[in-house]
Structure 1
Amino acid sequence: MTEKTLADWQQAAADIRIDGRAFINGRRVDAASGQTRTTYNPATGQALAEVANCAPADADEAVRIARETFEQGTWAGMPAAERKMVLVRWAELIEQHADELALLETLDVGKPIADTVNVDVPSSVRTIRWTGEAIDKVYDQISPTRDNCMGLITRLPLGVVAAIVPWNFPLSTTAWKLAPALATGNSVILKPASNTPLTALRIADLATQAGLPDGVLHVLPGPGGSLGEHIATHMGIDGLTFTGSTPVGKQLMVYSGQSNLKRVFLELGGKSPNIVFPDADIDKAASAAALAVYYNGGQTCTAGTRLIVHESIHDTFIEKVIEAASGWAPGNPLDPATAMGPMVDKGQCDTVAEYVAIGRDEGAKLVAGGGTVMEDTGGHYHEPTIFAGVNNQMRIAQEEIFGPVLAVIPFSTESEAVAIANDSIYGLAGAVWSQNINTAHRVAEQVRVGTMGINNYFGGDITVPFGGFKESGNGRDKSMHAFDDYTELKTTWLEFD
């Protein structure tokens, strides 16, 4: 990757040639129907690409090939050490095409180019490389039995796995799913979000170039309704991994019960608490509070949208967060200086505006932002927004907005802070800020979330699992724990004469 200016990225965007065809059996193909869907650049509102609009017929063909490939053992039967090297080569190719992939992600999603270059692409490379390198270090087990018996416990791939990924982190979330699913020997049907499929399609090309056998990976852009439902109810799919909204995740569980009880693993919504005590490093905590809610425009399942602040520092802390929020003014995502780009589309921008109106109607005090901006660009931009005077029963404190809206809630005691934090249907992420090690660990242990930061937000890397409690889902992405979602345990019992 090279240091580029706004003009450089604009020229690269003008020159790029996008292939929106599906990826089936190791090659790019049109949808069986020949239909396409236009995707749009959220920064400008202009048409970006024509993408294959896949339908159930495409899924049926992909599943048929995936099943045949799996049963032939082309990939599943390959020694783990050889699968490892394919994944490592794949990671290297993604790294070599980093600028191209970063640009595609920025054009497709509206993410700032500084983030796609420095975060999304490198983290995806790290995920695939680390997972590949780990797979031949996973050992099976022998149980402690009596002398004339041996209990073998082996880990086998599920078979054909479907992965449905969201629009907010298309590249990195796709890597979270594909790396462990492929490493463990499965065939995979990937359905990217219909409006942000470009990086998923491109890295599939690179997977074939890295040596992934034809028929193992298939990428089907298409509507979440008809295509997603067909995949979720397909009798030929053994497992389904999904990142997205809680209502959709619940429906996928229903589809599993209505079909073949395929394994379903879900990473869903969040309304994450960010708790600040008076003895915290106030400047650091305020800067992190802005990062927690405005990174990626707040379109982040782990966003720290509930800022729970001790009453003794409440007013002072809000002023510091307002100051920090000024550094997150929306801008052109192709500008390396931009910290926050547009919402992904007009619908999402309208949703954010609706919740701002709801917050006002509920009696919360709007102390920063609150409006859409940069309308003349044709894009969908919303400024960083802060509500004070919020109680945890308000809709803006309970419902996932998925935008740059922060609700500030005061507390007086440690037990009250924990109670507020846990008073949510979600349990995905959170943080606590305190210089007192006892307070920090005590609170972190009591807050019911899958990932909890102490004096940091968005902490963690590929070495630790990611997932949620309660209605934030089940299963885990990342780390070696992710292998559990893509494998079955088998017992083989031997008795000796």
Structure 2
Amino acid sequence: MPDVEREERMLIGGRLVPASGGGAFPNLNPATGREIGVTADGTAADMDAAIAAARAAFDGTGWADDPAFRVRCLRQLQEALTENAETLRAALVAEAGAPVALTHGAQLDIPLEGLGWVAGLAEDYAWVTDLGIAEPYGIRTHRYLRREPFGVVGAITPWNFPMQINLAKVGPALAAGNTVILKPAPDTPWTATLLGRLAAERTDIPPGVLNVVTSSRHEVGRQLTEDERVDMVSFTGSTATGRAVMRAGAASIKKVFLELGGKSALVALDDANLKKAVGNAAFQITTHAGQGCAILTRLVLPRSRYEEGLEMLVETLRGWPYGDPADPGNLMGPLISERQRERVLGLIATGAREGARVALGGGVPDHLPGGFYVEPTVLADVHPDATVAQEEIFGPVLAVLAHDGDDDAVRIANNSRYGLSGMVISESAERARAVADRIRTGTISVNGGLFYGADVPFGGYRQSGVGRESGVAGFEEYLEIKSIAEAA
């Protein structure tokens, strides 16, 4: 991997600036635990300036009224990001601990392609829909619908897939005609500040249309959710923080989009190819060390084949390669921080106290003394109501449960306050689809199919969130609908 290119400055009102108070916070490499640089520690004054710039750009420029110009700017941004892909790739590996192999997919390359898809959607989108002539109360009226941007959008993003989620919010919001303040997670600031720099230096995006404010302070993000000048907040993160965002937005009745947690189930029916089920489960739980909201973290095996499947899983994971994320052979790297590692280890211990059997792993690997690693871990004999079957762990920990037939498998899969994703495996595609149809999740895979793509709406039921990201539905989250009636 090349050396990491640092961008310590924020983007506010079209200018790359340090924090107003001169402060900075450290950026750590989770694979080593060492500091790799610093980033501007934005203040309340900086966030206020960014909101003011975004408000002025929306209210005082033609950005909202010129789709062709927006499309051109987005394509300029895509070109700039693509030309600097190796710089962004190095930053993702260094600050997020993202395995470099994953940056050729969902961590970077696919989101860069997706930005072009969003530009194409905006270019061809039907901004006005003609409803024709009607005569309510005898008044001949021509009715039509006009799609318009919300206004100022606050985008708050997490650390696990930072570039993918930054672009999933910034791209559609800008394409729809909004102005944006991006507040990235303090664990992964450079993927956002590099995005801001390229937008400022390589595109015609007007000053104030896109702003990037980095900060280690939670109150700066809360400020974005509370300010009445912000018309919409788009948040991805934990369900607990999502509740706080929703409460903060309620005071001004702003629109709140939430993409939150998950505790998704991989259900193997009694006729399933266990090798396929176990292979999918092993890949899911080790990908980026299990740090993904849609990762399948519960494996639900038929009771009649439970021990067979469990033994196959343990043997599959026993020799699983993990370690340095810069090694292309590793799909599993470190957790993001020591705090997150302690949380994951604590939940493993809770699982054992509640009766789960630690069939594999459960601790810190001896061969990786530096960084924030946890062993791939299998918890067997997990009760459906146990903490580790209900709580999002966000680590390489798989809970294995037994089911007694299709109805019981559906009951177990739906026994969650979340409803984000899932998978069903059966030798009968028809049977798998029938079970998948009964599982209450926003996305689901049948026999290993992949739902991920720029054109596919992503989001969940229940406490997994409100709204959808990506696809036409995700684009329309950033649009208001104005109904117009004109005397004919």
Q: Does residue 90 of structure 1 match 2:83?
A: no
Question: Secondary structure at 1:141's aligned position in 2?
Answer: strand
Question: Secondary structure at 1:305's aligned position in 2?
Answer: strand
User: Structure 2 CA distance, aligned partners of 1:441 and 1:412?
Assistant: 18
Question: Secondary structure at 2:300's aligned position in 1?
Answer: strand
How far off is 1:92 after superposition? 1.9
Aligned AA for 1:103? A
User: Structure 2 CA distance, aligned partners of 1:45 and 1:127?
Assistant: 32
Q: Does residue 314 of structure 1 match 2:302?
A: no
Aligned AA for 1:249? G
Q: Does residue 243 of structure 1 match 2:236?
A: yes
Q: Deviations over 1:180-206 (max 9, x none)?
A: 000001100000001111111111222
User: Structure 1 CA distance, aligned partners of 2:318 and 2:55?
Assistant: 52
User: Structure 2 CA distance, aligned partners of 1:224 and 1:265?
Assistant: 22
Alignment of 1:209-220 (within 5 A): 209-220=202-213
Question: Secondary structure at 1:293's aligned position in 2?
Answer: helix
Cross-structure match for 2:218: 225
How far off is 1:460 after superposition? 2.4
User: Structure 1 CA distance, aligned partners of 2:10 and 2:367?
Assistant: 33
How far off is 1:328 after superposition? 3.5
Residue among 254, 261, 266 paired with 1:269? 261
- Report if the CA contact (8 A) 1:43-1:377 is conserved: no
Question: Secondary structure at 2:481's aligned position in 1?
Answer: strand
User: Structure 2 CA distance, aligned partners of 1:458 and 1:32?
Assistant: 45
Aligned AA for 1:461? G
User: Structure 1 CA distance, aligned partners of 2:112 and 2:84?
Assistant: 11
How far off is 1:438 after superposition? 2.5
Aligned AA for 2:64? A
Question: Secondary structure at 2:469's aligned position in 1?
Answer: coil
Alignment of 1:26-65 (within 5 A): 26-65=14-53
How far off is 1:475 after superposition? 0.8
Alignment of 1:350-369 (within 5 A): 350-369=342-361
User: Structure 1 CA distance, aligned partners of 2:89 and 2:104?
Assistant: 5
How far off is 1:224 after superposition? 5.3
Could you list the runs of 4 or more consecutive aligned residues of structure 1 that deviate by over 4 angstroms after TM superposition? 374-377
- Report if the CA contact (8 A) 1:95-1:121 is conserved: no
Aligned AA for 2:372? H
Aligned AA for 1:116? T
- Report if the CA contact (8 A) 2:225-2:249 is conserved: yes
Q: Does residue 109 of structure 1 match 2:102?
A: no
How far off is 1:376 after superposition? 5.8
TM-score normalised per structure 1: 0.94
User: Structure 1 CA distance, aligned partners of 2:486 and 2:181?
Assistant: 36
User: Structure 1 CA distance, aligned partners of 2:314 and 2:205?
Assistant: 49
Aligned AA for 1:95? T
Cross-structure match for 2:338: 346
User: Structure 2 CA distance, aligned partners of 1:118 and 1:251?
Assistant: 32
User: Structure 2 CA distance, aligned partners of 1:145 and 1:315?
Assistant: 67
Aligned AA for 2:116? R
Aligned AA for 2:377? T
User: Structure 2 CA distance, aligned partners of 1:328 and 1:352?
Assistant: 19
Aligned AA for 2:479? T
How far off is 1:459 after superposition? 3.0
User: Structure 1 CA distance, aligned partners of 2:130 and 2:216?
Assistant: 45
User: Structure 2 CA distance, aligned partners of 1:214 and 1:141?
Assistant: 31
Cross-structure match for 2:417: 425
- Report if the CA contact (8 A) 2:419-2:462 is conserved: yes
Question: Secondary structure at 1:261's aligned position in 2?
Answer: coil
User: Structure 1 CA distance, aligned partners of 2:319 and 2:173?
Assistant: 39
Cross-structure match for 1:5: none
How far off is 1:374 after superposition? 4.9
Question: Secondary structure at 1:367's aligned position in 2?
Answer: strand
TM-score normalised per structure 2: 0.96
Cross-structure match for 2:108: 121
Cross-structure match for 1:254: 247
Residue among 159, 162, 165 paired with 1:170? 162
Q: Does residue 99 of structure 1 match 2:86?
A: yes
Q: Deviations over 1:91-145 (max 9, x none)?
A: 1221111111011011001111111234321122122110011102221212244
Question: Secondary structure at 2:98's aligned position in 1?
Answer: coil
Q: Does residue 435 of structure 1 match 2:427?
A: yes
Call closer, same or farther: CA 1:454–1:376 in 2, change over 3 Å: closer
Question: Secondary structure at 2:286's aligned position in 1?
Answer: helix
- Report if the CA contact (8 A) 1:294-1:384 is conserved: yes
Question: Secondary structure at 2:423's aligned position in 1?
Answer: strand
User: Structure 2 CA distance, aligned partners of 1:448 and 1:378?
Assistant: 40
User: Structure 2 CA distance, aligned partners of 1:111 and 1:117?
Assistant: 11
Aligned AA for 2:329? A
User: Structure 2 CA distance, aligned partners of 1:285 and 1:403?
Assistant: 20
Q: Deviations over 1:25-63 (max 9, x none)?
A: 223101111111111110111111211111211111111
User: Structure 2 CA distance, aligned partners of 1:334 and 1:394?
Assistant: 36
Question: Secondary structure at 1:407's aligned position in 2?
Answer: strand
User: Structure 1 CA distance, aligned partners of 2:392 and 2:188?
Assistant: 21
- Report if the CA contact (8 A) 1:58-1:220 is conserved: yes
Question: Secondary structure at 1:419's aligned position in 2?
Answer: helix
Aligned AA for 2:204? G
How far off is 1:207 after superposition? 2.0
Q: Deviations over 1:151-201 (max 9, x none)?
A: 111110011000000010100011110110000011000000011111111
Residue among 171, 179, 188 paired with 1:196? 188
Identity across the alignment (%): 36
User: Structure 1 CA distance, aligned partners of 2:222 and 2:142?
Assistant: 43
In structure 2, the gaps of 5 or more residues are none
Q: Deviations over 1:45-88 (max 9, x none)?
A: 1111211111211111111111111112342122x223112212
In structure 1, the gaps of 5 or more residues are 1-8
Deviates more, 1:122-131 or 1:243-252: 122-131
- Report if the CA contact (8 A) 1:88-1:133 is conserved: no
Cα RMSD after superposing both structures: 1.4
